[in-house]
Amino acid sequence: MELRHLRYFIAVAEEEHFGRAARRLRIAQPPLSRQIQQLEQEVGVPLLERRGRGIVLTDAGRVFADGARQTLETAARATARAVATSRGEEGRLSVGFVDTSAYNGVPPRIFRRFRTRFPRVALDLLPLTSAQQWQALRDDKIQVGFVYHLPDDPEVASRPIFQDEVVLALPR
């Protein structure tokens, strides 16, 4: 059974007429009739009663129509979520960070802005050393890392976002 069979069946059920359903679907009536007959054979029960120039749903047809609508709605939601995920608008993002990098406030501000802009993306925040983050990036365990040093690795892109001032203190 294919989704188009369900769309065809819903159109026939709503139009209560093969000709009108065929026009609505922009297909010829004979192939539509064949598809519905094949669907009824696959389901194993009559879904429609042909009456004169129209049709009426059987009790089984009404139940099947409800399920078909739910299935099409579920498929549409799954498609929309897949598209949103491919655009980075939904899903999960694993982020490594050196816990001391939060002291200057830059990573927390970035996380807040990200959550505001992409509310359907879950952030998995993982405290890791810089070396652990580079390895996690190579192993696809995180997608983003806030690190302190930049190793020479052509497989990983990096960009400085802030500089920490380090002060050496000695006794007099």
β-pair partners for 127: 97
pLDDT tens-place string over residues 106-121: 888 999 999 999 999 9
| CB-CB contact of 102 with 112 (8 Å) | no
**Distance from first CA to last CA of the chain, Å, rounded?**
83
pLDDT of 119:
92
Q: At what angle do helices 18-25 and 3-15 cross, to 10 degrees?
A: 130
Query: What is the arithmetic mean of pLDDT over 99-111?
Result: 83
pLDDT tens-place string over residues 45-95: 999 998 888 899 999 999 999 999 999 999 999 999 999 988 888 899 999
Least confident stretch, 25-29, 80-84, 96-100, 125-129: 96-100
pLDDT tens-place string over residues 158-167: 888 887 777 8
pLDDT of 24:
95
pLDDT of 51:
85
Query: What is the arithmetic mean of pLDDT over 112-134?
Result: 92
pLDDT tens-place string over residues 3-24: 999 999 999 999 999 999 999 9
Query: Whole-angstrom Cα distance, residue 170 to residue 108?
Result: 32
Residue 41 clears pLDDT 90, i.e. is over it: yes
Query: Whole-angstrom Cα distance, residue 54 to residue 48?
Result: 10
Residue 151 clears pLDDT 80, i.e. is over it: no
Rg (CA), the chain: 29
pLDDT category, 140, cuts 50, 70, 90? very high
Share of the chain above pLDDT 70, in %: 100
pLDDT of 99:
84
Residue 153 clears pLDDT 80, i.e. is over it: no
